[in-house]
Amino acid sequence: MSAHQRGTELDLSWISKVQVNQPAVLRRAEQIQARRPVKKEWQAAWLLKAVTFIDLTTLSGDDTSSNVQRLCYKAKYPIREDLLKALNMHGKGITTAAVCVYPARVCDAVRALKAAGCDIPVASVATGFPAGQTHLKTRLEEIRLAVEAGATEIDVVINRTLVLTGQWEGSDFIKTSTGKETVNATFPVAIVMLRAIRDFFWKTGNKIGFKPAGGIRSAKDSLAWLSLIKEELGDEWLKPELFRIGASTLLADIERQIYHHVTGRYAAYHDLSMS
């Protein structure tokens, strides 16, 4: 929730004075991407931590109740139980942070998670996803319907015309992209957004969350994102309340890397369950 939403007078005049040192941002992004990842036990621990930040997502035009049900099962059991036992992490309640679906599939997700006996939040991409260009009344109704169906988190697609004309809106999180663009979550853009979050916190005392989404597919990438958050915002942002990764295929690669760490070999296609 922003300072404006809490009733505090929010001075946005400083936004017009913001300047971005693009060469410096690009150098910082290259530094993050070039860094060698942590190894062995440390890597396995960080990968399990990454799992807990994932909004496990399906946003396909052919989504059905059955594939949403599989997704929810995978959200509750993201890593094979024997692999967790080998790492002495079984019974620790490791799940993804949320399940993210279209509004029409929220009921399916809520039902599946309830049947699985877990309270993982259901997020929904309401408000005319991915363009956000439907009428305000329609977008508000879509939010209402998603919440009525059981969604506890809403990924709002803002009308970008408002941003381009300086009519800013408050939020609990900011997100790099819808995941449906040609280019989605990139490190240079993320660095600028994270420093804006940091500046906003320094000025208002309010912590805003961050969610990169789209194109994050490899375990190595997830470690780079965690490292970036830790270095730019600190450990206090490394929790699901303030950091999420929107992804659909990332979890599969993380589980493959953990399988390799435990067994010393890479998993065959049939070794790991599909979401």
Q: Has residue 263 got a pLDDT over 90?
A: yes
The pLDDT score that the predictor gives to residue 31 is 85
Question: For 58-72, 75-89, 161-175, 256-270, which range has the lowest pLDDT when averaged over its residues?
Answer: 161-175
Peptide bond just before 130 cis, omega within 30 deg: yes
**Comparing C-alpha atoms, which of 101, 103, 135, 102 is closest to residue 120?**
101
The pLDDT score that the predictor gives to residue 2 is 38
Q: Has residue 72 got a pLDDT over 90?
A: yes
Rounded to whole angstroms, how far apart are CA atoms 113 and 117? 6
Mean pLDDT of the chain, nearest integer: 89
Q: Has residue 173 got a pLDDT over 60?
A: yes
Sequence-separated (6 or more) residues with CB below 8 Å from residue 38: 46, 223
As a whole-number percent, the residues of the chain with pLDDT over 70 amount to 93
pLDDT, tens digit (0-9, with 9 covering 90-100), for 109-156: 999 999 999 999 999 999 889 888 899 999 999 999 999 999 999 999
pLDDT, tens digit (0-9, with 9 covering 90-100), for 208-234: 999 999 889 999 999 999 999 999 999
Choice among 49, 137, 207, 211 that is catalytic:
211
Supply 90's token pair.
């079984």
Instruction: State yes or no: is 211 an active-site residue.
Output: yes
- Confidence at 10, pLDDT banded by 50, 70, 90: low
- Confidence at 37, pLDDT banded by 50, 70, 90: low
Choice among 40, 92, 114, 175 that is catalytic:
175
Q: Has residue 275 got a pLDDT over 70?
A: no
